[in-house]
Structure 1
Amino acid sequence: MHKTKNTQLSEFLSPLLSAGLCTVLLLCALLAFAGPSFALEDNLTVLTHDLTGQAESDPNTGELRGIVHSGKRAFNLEAVREIMAAVGIPIRIREVSFAQGMEALATRNDVAFFNVYRSPQREQRFKWVGPLQREIDYLYGLQGNTFSNLDEARSALSICAVEGSQHHDLLLERGFKNIISAPSYQECFSRLKSGTATLAVSSDETLLQKLHAVDIPVSQISRIPEPLLQYAGYIAFSPQVDDRIIRRWQEALNILISSGRFQTLYDLYYER
């Protein structure tokens, strides 16, 4: 049977097309098997910690929302919510313990966790967006348990610090032997009230919120004058998260600050 030129051309190209299709399919299979090398923005798992008394679930959406004038955690939550809205991703934020958040950062490739102190020891382990705020932290005790400086605090019966926090790590690095761990800062101040802890850590800006949460009058508290730590809090990301995502989040935060909206959120959510 006589073949047309089109039929001949089709027969000539068919093996090549088949080979090309096989190559494409093979590449797709390899890419699917290998998986992404970095987290896609829409797939980020966003975590935070220690929201007790400062956040609540929206009854309509189930989303975590900051409580007005309740403190730093509420402010952080609302600031990050606005960043997520600005970059155009679903606003899903989950509360975990600080230790769980740090473990997720270290073991998963798709995590953003806030608020985290950007220490020299952590600098190369994660990627960073911020700062959300700068703070000074002190050791506090009840009246009667007074110490003049941090060196004297070594003789305290016990110092309560959140497990895995920068305070916990710093006290260990400085050779303190009297540290007891707790899952939250509120629990540390609860132990301070009950007498099972002699000292507890807090930033100066968030002390009142902790005292109110466990019903300790301000008149019954004293602090060691020497700061334990001065630092800035950031959003930490798994090291595998794409740098383009980090830049987008940082740009969104910068715009939030320059527009004045950041200060508005600060005034609304920090305790007054």
Structure 2
Amino acid sequence: MRPSKHPLHARIPILLLPAVLVLAGLAVLAWAAPCRARADGLVILTHDLAGQAQADPATGELRGIEHAGKRAFNLEAVREIMTAVGMTARIREVSFAQGMAALASHEDTAFFNVYRTPQREAHYKWVGPLQREVDYLYGLKGNAIGGLDAAKAAPAICAVDGSQHHNMLLADGFTNVVTAPTYLECFTRLKSGAATLAVSSDETLIQKLHAAGIPASDIRRVPEPLVQSAGYIAFSPQVDDAVIRRWQAALNGLISSGRFQTLYDRYYER
């Protein structure tokens, strides 16, 4: 789904936790501390970059790999927004669960790509969308499921821990959900038989299949979409509204100038 075909409308010094919370927050503090920005004081985090980004040999900064997929595109789009607002922080990769924990426990975090759902709406501030998607459940041929209701009887549906898909499946009464830290791990489990179904957007499925070593001809999808959604940059709720407006204006400028589409063509999988 090309971004140009859709209307695009539309929060850190690190806080030291009390001793009783140090164990719970230690992992987050470890990677967040080096990422201070000079401009807005934000830590910038992302997730699930496997196979779509690499460290620049000259600077060590994460850069998207051309034509590698959605996350390469998101990474480069956010880098351009950061340049436009005068930020020099390095983007850091964490697990999805770590990123969501940072949003909840620190006052100075931006985390992308996060689906903007009604359940999350009031808990964060938002800039975007970066893209819109339709997500489905996928399984190997021979294990085809007739629909979402029938999928409730499947042995195991793999979803990323704490993701929109994970929460939605649980809310809809699925008792057969197993979690993994990444989408690649879910499709690896699908290949091995440890999971019967896994979640993916229609646009990024091929990249996940390539990474997991699953031929596209071996995959089938549940006909009904699981969810239609849009991916955003989520900010800690304490981030000043002026910062949010500045980031949104930078994204809007990226779109109106045509640069957004150029990045899409260069980094999204074709």
The one-letter code matched in structure 2 to 1:156 is: A
Q: Which residue is 1:75 aligned to?
A: 73
Asked if 1:171 is matched to 2:160, the reply is no
Q: Which of 83, 86, 89 is equivalent to 1:88?
A: 86
Question: Retained in 2: the 8 A contact 1:41–1:245?
Answer: no
In the other structure, the counterpart of 2:45 is 47
- Residue correspondence of structure 1 range 93-242 to structure 2 within 5 A: 93-242=91-240
C-alpha separation between the residues in 2 aligned to 1:91 and 1:106? 20
Please identify, of 86-95 and 242-251, the stretch whose mean Cα deviation from structure 2 is larger. 86-95
Q: Supply the RMSD in Å over aligned alpha carbons.
A: 1.0
> In structure 1, what residue type is equivalent to 2:111?
F
Equivalent position of 2:262 in the other structure: 264
Q: After the TM superposition, which residues 3-22 of structure 1 pair with which residues of structure 2 at under 5 Å, given as runs?
A: none
Q: Is the 8 A contact 1:42 1:90 kept in 2?
A: no
Unaligned regions of 5+ residues in structure 1, if any?
1-38
Q: In structure 2, how many angstroms separate the alpha carbons of the residues matched to 1:154 and 1:211?
A: 23
Distance 2:262 2:89 in 1: 20
SS where residue 152 of structure 2 aligns? helix
Distance apart, 1:42 and its partner CA: 3.2
- Kindly state the Cα deviation for residue 226 of structure 1 after the two structures are TM-superposed: 0.1
Q: In 1, Cα distance between the equivalents of 2:146 and 2:249? A: 43
Q: Secondary structure at the match of 2:165?
A: helix
Q: Distance in 2 between matches of 1:124 and 1:40?
A: 28
Amino acid at match of 1:204: D
1:63–1:91 CA contact under 8 A, matched in 2:
no
Q: For residue 47 of structure 1, give the secondary structure of its aligned residue in structure 2.
A: strand
Give the Cα separation in 1 of the matches to 2:88 and 2:268.
25
Contact 2:158 2:195 in 1 (8 A): yes
Distance 2:39 2:113 in 1: 19
Query: Aligned to 2:92, what secondary structure does the other structure show?
Result: strand
Q: Is the contact made by 1:57 and 1:64 (CA closer than 8 Å) also made in structure 2?
A: yes
Shift of 1:148: 1.5
Range with bigger deviation, 39-48 or 215-224: 39-48
Q: TM-score, normalising length from structure 1?
A: 0.85
Post-superposition CA distance 1:218-244 (Å, at most 9, x none): 000000010001000000000000000
Larger radius of gyration: 1
1:43 deviation in Å?
A: 1.2
Q: What is the number of equivalent residue pairs in this alignment?
A: 234
Cα 1:87–1:255 change in 2 (3 A) is: same
Distance 2:141 2:74 in 1: 31
Q: CA deviation at 1:40?
A: 8.2
Give yes or no for contact 1:81–1:91 (8 Å, CA) kept in 2. Answer: no
Structure 2: 5+ residue stretches without partners: 1-36
CA contact (8 A) 2:124 2:236 kept: yes
| Helix, strand or coil at the partner of 1:89 | coil
One-letter identity of the residue aligned with 2:254: L
Q: In structure 1, give the amino acid aligned to 2:83.
A: A
Contact 1:118 1:233 in 2 (8 A): yes
1:205 maps to amino acid: E
Deviation at 1:214, TM superposition (A): 1.0
Which aligned runs of 4 or more in structure 1 are off by greater than 6 angstroms? none
CA-CA distance at 1:91 after TM superposition: 4.0
- Give SS of 2:148's match: coil
Q: Percent identity?
A: 74
CA separation in 2, counterparts of 1:40 and 1:248? 15
Distance, in Å, in 2 between the alignment partners of 1:57 and 1:40 is: 21
Give per-residue Cα distances to partners, 1:126-152, cap 9 Å, x unaligned.
000000000000000000011111000
Counterpart Cα distance in 2 of 1:83 and 1:40: 15
Contact 1:131 1:232 in 2 (8 A): yes
